Structure 1
Amino acid sequence: MSRIGKNAIPVPDGVSVEIDGLNVNVKGKLGLLSATLPDEVMITQESGELRVAPSGSSARAQAMWGMSRSVVNNLVVGVSEGFTKKLEISGVGYRAQMQGKDLVLQLGFSHEVRHPSPEGITIACPDQTHIEISGADRQRVGQTAAKIRSYRPPEPYKGKGVRYADEFIIRKEGKKK
């Protein structure tokens, strides 16, 4: 039995939800997001909240129940508040800056790395060592952050590289004499 799936999804003011069978369209101040739910779940809207329920008692229906609730909740939160990922750059000479809609990174390579800003995603550099990625779609925000981190992941000896702001790097001891 899903403990996540039991919870109702509150719909804040300014957010409209359209349910067309298994298609869910959510519209808010940050845009329009949609998702198609699996056949094993049903979604209903009542008195300002959404409820997801399994349509059977199979193991797959139970597994899809909590996942579908999380997907719909991410749509509602995305169009009302949005999602943000923060990255930090550490290393001598490593820096980031915005040039138009492109993020330009100097990460110790012989060339600079240019990362274009995807549609619907906002990338900002408050200073040279911090990057903020924000948008309404949680999956695209996370994927963009993971792609930028993959250019130079943090290494365990000096901790140089691009890391998430809340990530802890386990450091290794260097060579001994």
Structure 2
Amino acid sequence: PGALYPINPNYDEIDGLKCFKSIAEVGAPVDLAVIVIPARAVLPALEQCAVAGVKNAVIISSGFAEEGGDSADMQDAIVALAKRTGMRISGPNAEGFYSQVQKVAATFSPTVDVKPDAPVLVASQRRIGIVAQSGGIGFAIYHRAKALGVALSYVVSAGNESDLGAGEFLDYM
């Protein structure tokens, strides 16, 4: 895990972390952008990420193909951006992912507790994981497994699968 760079033009600080007005202001490599903004703002944010050299994004925002009409067109534009820039994109309409292997919690799921004093179930080398379209289902299974003492390596909510789909996540695991 690396540094966190909150991006929000309305704040100077979030939870003790310096907040940047835009991704261009970060001035350091960004491995992953976690995007949680209104649907209509997602494509411009992804364009800014591409210019800044971000290669991976998780779009938690909803309001795309699952709603049809113009919203589906916005998702088509995300697909086009991924193809044009080579950025790998999970979502939109995803709950994100948790990797116990890499110690990355790119999710808003309350089932992933990454507090320093919380006990951690160490994942086995077998890399047991969950991939689900629905974040609610995927993270609920993760929560139940954790309660039973089953250590999972990964849990992924694929969402609408605009770019990365369940198959790619399974191949990675």
TM-score relative to the length of structure 1: 0.24
> Would you tell me which structure has more strand in proportion to its own residues?
1
Q: Which has the larger radius of gyration?
A: 1
> Would you tell me which structure has more helix in proportion to its own residues?
2
